[in-house]
Amino acid sequence: ETGVTQSPTHLIKTRGQQVTLRCSSQSGHNTVSWYQQALGQGPQFIFQYYREEENGRGNFPPRFSGLQFPNYSSELNVNALELDDSALYLCASSLGSALNTEAFFGQGTRLTVV
């Protein structure tokens, strides 16, 4: 176990709806990154939060937004859901420092948009 927990584990939403996914980072970690993993593909970087501020964003539209709280837990919000948003959403926590450090992933949230 990595100590990174995500909720919920599974979710079914209708096209056009909004969804919020949650992530609790590993104790002592101040950086949370979100990834989208489509079926049969590698994870794609959505964005990263470092000490409560967005710190880098991948090629995702603005309807993907996030938040990091003072305890370093994080939320991913997706508005106006599209069918192509169906994927496994992964949260990874790490300790921000001058050198790359290990990123530990949660088990993911499986989002299905119908």
Partner 1 sequence: QQQVKQSPQSLIVQKGGISIINCAYENTAFDYFPWYQQFPGKGPALLIAIRPDVSEKKEGRFTISFNKSAKQFSLHIMDSQPGDSATYFCAASRDIYGGATNKLIFGTGTLLAVQP
CA distances from 109 to 34, 53, 55 (A): 11, 23, 22
| Residue 92 touches partner 1, criterion: CB under 8 A | yes
Look up residue 45 and give its amino acid.
Answer: F
Number of chain residues interacting with partner 1 (CB under 8 A)? 34
| Residue 45 touches partner 1, criterion: CB under 8 A | yes
Among 7, 17, 18, 41, binds partner 1 (CB under 8 A): 41
The single-letter DSSP state of residue 84 is: G
Residues found near partner 1 in the complex (CB under 8 A): 2, 4, 31, 33, 35, 40-45, 48, 50-51, 55-56, 58, 90, 92, 94-108
